[in-house]
Amino acid sequence: MHPLATILNSSSVVTDPDGMAPYLSDWRGLAKGTAQAVVKPQTTEDVARVLQWASQTGTPVVPQGGNTGLSGGATPDRSGRAIVLSLERLNRILSIDPVGNTLVAQAGCILANVQQAAADVGRLFPVSLGSEGSCQIGGILATNAGGINVIRYGMTRDLVLGLEYVTAAGEIVRGPRKLHKNNTGYDLRHLLIGSEGSLAVITAAALKIVQPPPARISALAAVGTPDAALSLLRLIRETVGENILAFELMCGNEMNLVRARFPSQRYPFADNHPWYVFVEIGGERDEVVSERTEAALSHALDKSIVTDAVLATSEAQSKEIWHLRFAVSEANRLAGPTVSHDVSVATQDVPTLIANVSRRIADFPEALPLLVGHIGDGNIHVNILLPHQILTDQKNFRAISRQVNDMIYDIVGELDGSISAEHGIGRFKREAFSHRADPVELRLMTAIKHSFDPAGILNPGVMLSASQSLRP
Amino acid sequence: MHPLATILNSSSVVTDPDGMAPYLSDWRGLAKGTAQAVVKPQTTEDVARVLQWASQTGTPVVPQGGNTGLSGGATPDRSGRAIVLSLERLNRILSIDPVGNTLVAQAGCILANVQQAAADVGRLFPVSLGSEGSCQIGGILATNAGGINVIRYGMTRDLVLGLEYVTAAGEIVRGPRKLHKNNTGYDLRHLLIGSEGSLAVITAAALKIVQPPPARISALAAVGTPDAALSLLRLIRETVGENILAFELMCGNEMNLVRARFPSQRYPFADNHPWYVFVEIGGERDEVVSERTEAALSHALDKSIVTDAVLATSEAQSKEIWHLRFAVSEANRLAGPTVSHDVSVATQDVPTLIANVSRRIADFPEALPLLVGHIGDGNIHVNILLPHQILTDQKNFRAISRQVNDMIYDIVGELDGSISAEHGIGRFKREAFSHRADPVELRLMTAIKHSFDPAGILNPGVMLSASQSLRP
C-alpha cells in the first residue's frame, strides 16, 4: 500500500496502471511520464498532508487540473519518482456574490461549471477557452490562461481577487479573500498565478464576475493585409469604445484548410481573401450595437480598409462565423505535422512579425505558415505545417522543428516579443525560455523558486530547468 | 563633494540643507527624516550607477516620486545614512500607440502629464487621484495606487504591461515591453508593482490606455443605510452593466462637515440625509446614458432604496456634485485631529464593517467617525475625528490613536479584510502589518526581499521591519 493511502485514505490514492494512465500523458499525447501514485485529495487539509509527506520524503509533486495544457506542464517525468496531485475532487463553488461581483471556487472546479454558476445569477465569468468543458480553475490559474475575450476582460490573472494555497512544506495559507483592493505587502497572488505549480498549490480562488453586455454582435471582415486589420481595429475602437469583446485574425491558408476539412460549414463570401478578421462587439442595446458595427464596417469598406464584410444578423449566423474560427485546432490537427508557436509582440508590430515569418519560412521548402490569433492583443499563433512525408523520419522532423522554432523565436526576439503569450513554458519551452530570458530575471525567478520550494519538490523541471530550480 | 557627484555629475547630487528639505518629509509633514544627499539621475544608466555605488558602500536608498504618499514610504529615517533617489528628471513620455493602446512613460512623469498625453491622441489613462498634478508614475506603480475609477478600470497594476527597472546591485533589466500577453516565467512585474521601492527601482513602464466612454453622467443619491447603497449598486449594475465609472459612499457627518467648511458649495437636497452615494456612469450616447441612469434612480426611489436623488444635467452640475466628494480631504484636515484608515472588506461586508465601527467607537467619548470611500470596491476610508483638546497632550493623542487603530484593525480582521486597501504599508503601517499579516506570507515576503536585495539597501524599514528585511 502506498504510504499516502494511510495518511489520506485508500480511495484518494491510485497506484494501478490503468487508473493512473489518464494522468500520465497530456491530452495531445505529446508529453508522457510515469509516477509512483496519482493522489486525489478531497480537502485543503488533505493537500497539506500530501505536501508535508512529499517534503519530508523529497518526493516530486506534479499538480494537475483538467490536463488540457499545451506545454507539458502537468505531466511527470519518466523517472517514476513523482506523484501526480490531482485537484479534481476539490470541485465545489463555495460562494457567489452578485453585489460585490465575486465567485469563490475550489481549484478542481471545471471552468464551464464556474461560467454556468455565474450565469445562473445573471453574471459572466469571462475566461473562455476551447477546453472550457474540461479545464479546471486551478489549471487556468497556474497557467494564467488567455483565450478569446482577453481584449475586453484581460487574462485569467486579471480576474482573480484572492487565493487559498498550500506551500511546498504543507502550510495552508487560508483564504481566499474577496477583496477588490488590498495593498498589504508583495503581491503573492500574482506570483503564484502563472507559476505552473512550481511555487505552491492553489486550492481555491476568489474570482471577479461581471455583468454581461446586454447586446452582442459578430462580424467577419476580409482584409488585404495585417496592417489593414490593425486599421480596422482602430476604426472600430473609435466607433464602439471599449466594447470590442474579440478581435481575431486568420490567414487565407488557414481559412482554406478549414473549408477543405469542413466543406459543409458555410463560408459567407463569394471569393477567397488573403486575411480575415473575426469581430465580436458588445453593447447596451441590439439596435445601437448593430447600427454602430454596420457604420464602422461601411466606413472601413469606403476607405478600402476592408474588401468585404458580413454582419451576423442572427445568433445562428453568428455561430456560423465563429465555427470557422473554432475549427482551426481540429483542422490543423488533421492537416499533418505542425510546429506550433504562441507568440506575442506589441500590437503595432504584428504586421512586421508576420512579414518576417512569411519571408524567412522560404528557407523551409514546402512549409506552410498557418497564422491565426488574437491580433487585438498582439498574440499570434504561428503554426508551421510541414509536408507529410517528413513524419517518416522522426529524427529529421525533430531537427526541422528545432530550426523552425529557432527562426520564429529569433524573429520574436528582434521585436522584443514573448515566446509564450498565453500557453506558458511548461516542459516544452523550458529550454528556449532559459536561453532567451533576461539573465537577471532568470536569476531572480530562480531565487524566488528557492525561497518558496527549497527542496525543489514542486513540479521540478517545469518552467525553470532542474539545475536552475535546485539550490546550488 | 559627495562621491556620487563624481560618479554622476554635480548637478545631479544635492547636499545643501535647503535643497534637500522638500525631499526629507512627506507632504503632510507626518514623516520626517535626514539624508546624506538627494540624488536626481537623468538616465536609467545613472540610476544603475547610483545603485552600484550604494550596494558597494551599503548605503540605504530611498526611492522617491512626487512625494505625495500617505504611508511615509518615501521618507528616509533620521539616521542621515540614506540617500534619497528622486526619479523626477526621468520625466519623458517615450511612446504612444493608439492602435495597440499603449503609452510608455519614464518613472518621473507626472500622472497628469500622462493623462494629458493620452487625451491628446483621443485616449484615457484611467488612474485618477487627488494628487494627480504632482504624483509620478514611479510612485503610483510603487504603491499600486487606487483612486476613484477602480470599480471600472482596476488598480494601477491592472494598467501596466511591462517595466524597465534597476536591481539593488545596479543591473538594468531593459524594457518596458508593450506586451498585452506574456506568460514567460513568474510575473516579476506584479511583484515590483506595490513593493514600495523595496525590491528594485522602476525606471519606466508600458501602460495601457483605453478609449474613453463617449458619454458620462453623474448623480448624487441619498440613502438610509449602507445596505441601501449596495442595493443601489446592484440595481444600477443590472441597468447599465459594466459602465459604472465611480460609486462612492459618504456618511452624513462627513457631508455636514464639508458643507460647514465650504458653505458656498451648492448642496442639492432640501434635507439632511444619513448617507450619500456619488455615482458616475459612462456609456455610448448621452441620451441613452441619462435615460438609463434616470430609470435606475426612479426605480430605486419607487422601491424606497433611495430617499432622494439628483441627476446632473450639465457638466457644471456634475462638477458641483463631485466638489462635495473631493472637498473631503481638505475638510477633514481643517476639522481637527483625525486618525485615518484605508481599509477594505468584501463588498457585501461593508455594512457590517460600518455597523461595527459605529458601535465600538462609543468607547471613545466625543470621537466622530467620518466614513467615505469606494464602496463599490469594498474600500472605506474610516477617519475618526477626535476632540480638539486632545492635541494639548501629544502623548495622550498617540495613545488614543493606537487604541483607535487597534479597534479598527480588529474589526477588519474579524471580517477577513485588509488594513491597507490602496495607500500601502510604508512606515506608518509596518508594525500593524507585521502583527496582522499571515505569518507564512510574511516569511515568503521576507525571503523575496532577501532574494532581490541581499544587502538590504532598498528602502529599509519600509513595508517589512528591519529585522525581517535583513538576512538573519
CA–CA distance, A107 with A193 (Å, rounded to integer): 12
CATH code matching the domain that covers A93-208, chosen among 3.40.50.1000, 3.40.50.150, 3.40.640.10, 3.30.465.10: 3.30.465.10
CA–CA distances in Å: residue A304 to residues A222, A229, A362, B412: 11, 11, 30, 59
Q: Find the CB nearest B155 among A181, A185, A243.
A: A181
When pLDDT is averaged across residues B184-194 and rounded to a whole number, the result is 98
pLDDT classification of B284: cutoffs 50, 70, 90: confident
CA–CA distance, B273 with A317 (Å, rounded to integer): 52
Look up the CATH number of domain B215-328: 3.30.70.2190
**Set of cell numbers at residue A467:** 539545475
When pLDDT is averaged across residues B241-268 and rounded to a whole number, the result is 95
What single string gives the DSSP state of each residue in B225-269?
A: SHHHHHHHHHHHHHHHGGGEEEEEEEEHHHHHHHHHH-TTS----
Residue B471 has a pLDDT of 39
CA–CA distance, B397 with B338 (Å, rounded to integer): 10
Which residue in B68, B10, B17, B18 sits closest to B40, CA to CA? B10
Q: Which residues of A touch B188 (CB under 8 A)?
A: 441, 444-445
Order of strands across the sheet that contains A200-208? A93-97, A102-106, A200-208, A160-167, A172-173
| Closest-CA residue of chain A to B97 | A348
**Set of cell numbers at residue A281:** 462587439
| Closest-CA residue of chain A to B197 | A186
pLDDT classification of A469: cutoffs 50, 70, 90: very low
Q: What is the pLDDT of residues B142-162, one digit of tens each?
A: 999 998 899 999 999 999 999
CB contact under 8 A, A190 and B190: yes
Has domain A336-450 been given CATH number 3.30.70.2740? yes
pLDDT classification of A387: cutoffs 50, 70, 90: confident
pLDDT classification of A431: cutoffs 50, 70, 90: very high
Using CB atoms and an 8 Å cut-off, which of residues 291-310 of chain B contact chain A? 292
Element (H, E) at A4: helix A3-7
CB contact under 8 A, B100 and A441: no
Residue A407 has a pLDDT of 97
CA–CA distance, B83 with B39 (Å, rounded to integer): 7
Q: Which residues of B touch A173 (CB under 8 A)?
A: 438, 440-441
Instruction: Tell me whether B100 touches chain A (CB under 8 Å).
Output: yes
Mutate to test the interface with B, among A165, A184, A211 (most CBs of B within 10 A): A184
Residue A149 has a pLDDT of 94
When pLDDT is averaged across residues B266-273 and rounded to a whole number, the result is 96
∠ CA A40-A46-A47, rounded to 5°: 75
CB contact under 8 A, A421 and B348: no
Could you tell me where in chain A the CATH 3.30.70.2740 domains are found? 336-450
When pLDDT is averaged across residues A165-176 and rounded to a whole number, the result is 98
Look up the CATH number of domain B3-86: 3.30.43.10
| Closest-CA residue of chain A to B437 | A184
Residue B182 has pLDDT above 70, yes or no: yes
Residue B466 has a pLDDT of 63
Could you tell me where in chain A the CATH 3.30.70.2190 domains are found? 215-325
Using CB atoms and an 8 Å cut-off, which of residues 441-460 of chain B contact chain A? 441-442, 444-445, 447-452
Average of per-residue pLDDT values in chain A: 95
The size of the A-B interface in CB pairs under 8 A is: 261
pLDDT classification of A331: cutoffs 50, 70, 90: very high
Residue A361 is classified by DSSP as: G
Tell me the three state secondary structure of residue A342: strand
Are A256 and A376 spatial neighbours (Cβ–Cβ below 8 Å)?
Answer: no
Q: Which residues of B touch A463 (CB under 8 A)?
A: 185
Q: What is the pLDDT of residues B390-401, one digit of tens each?
A: 777 778 888 999
**Set of cell numbers at residue A350:** 504584428
The partner residues of B308 in beta bridges, in order of sequence, read: B222
Using CB atoms and an 8 Å cut-off, which of residues 28-87 of chain A contact chain B? none
Using CB atoms and an 8 Å cut-off, which of residues 310-369 of chain B contact chain A? 344-348
Q: Is A37 left (phi over 0), alpha (psi -120 to 50) or beta?
A: beta
Q: Which H, E and C letters describe B402-450, residue by residue?
A: HHHHHHHHHHHHHCCCECECCCCCCCCCHHHHHHHCCHHHHHHHHHHHH
When pLDDT is averaged across residues A391-406 and rounded to a whole number, the result is 88
Residue A470 has a pLDDT of 38
Instruction: Tell me whether A420 touches chain B (CB under 8 Å).
Output: yes
Residue A466 has a pLDDT of 63
Residue B470 has a pLDDT of 38
Residue B387 has a pLDDT of 87
Element (H, E) at B384: strand B379-385
Using CB atoms and an 8 Å cut-off, which of residues 202-241 of chain B contact chain A? 210-214, 230, 233-234, 237-238, 240-241
CB contact under 8 A, B102 and A347: yes
| Closest-CA residue of chain B to A160 | B158
CB contact under 8 A, A230 and B99: yes
Instruction: Tell me whether B18 touches chain A (CB under 8 Å).
Output: no
What single string gives the DSSP state of each residue in A248-264?
A: EEEEHHHHHHHHHH-TT
Tell me the three state secondary structure of residue B374: strand
Q: Which CATH architecture has domain A215-325?
A: 2-Layer Sandwich (3.30)
Helix A394-414 × helix A350-360 angle, to 10°: 140
What single string gives the DSSP state of each residue in A182-208?
A: --SSS-HHHHHTTSTTSSEEEEEEEEE
Among the ranges given (A282-291, A348-357, A454-463, B13-22), the one the predictor scored with the smallest mean pLDDT: A282-291
Residue B472 has pLDDT above 70, yes or no: no
CB contact under 8 A, B211 and A241: yes
The partner residues of B369 in beta bridges, in order of sequence, read: B384
When pLDDT is averaged across residues A116-127 and rounded to a whole number, the result is 97
CB contact under 8 A, B440 and A173: yes
Instruction: Tell me whether B182 touches chain A (CB under 8 Å).
Output: yes
Look up the CATH number of domain B336-414: 3.30.70.2740
Q: Find the CB nearest A181 among B122, B150, B440.
A: B150
When pLDDT is averaged across residues A283-290 and rounded to a whole number, the result is 86
Mutate to test the interface with B, among A165, A180, A207, A277 (most CBs of B within 10 A): A180
CB contact under 8 A, B448 and A184: no
Q: Find the CB nearest B378 among A179, A193, A346.
A: A179
**Set of cell numbers at residue A424:** 506558458
Helix B286-302 × helix B226-240 angle, to 10°: 140
Residue B467 has a pLDDT of 54
Could you tell me where in chain A the CATH 3.30.465.10 domains are found? 93-208
CA–CA distance, A177 with B4 (Å, rounded to integer): 46
Q: Find the CB nearest B181 among A233, A421, A463.
A: A421
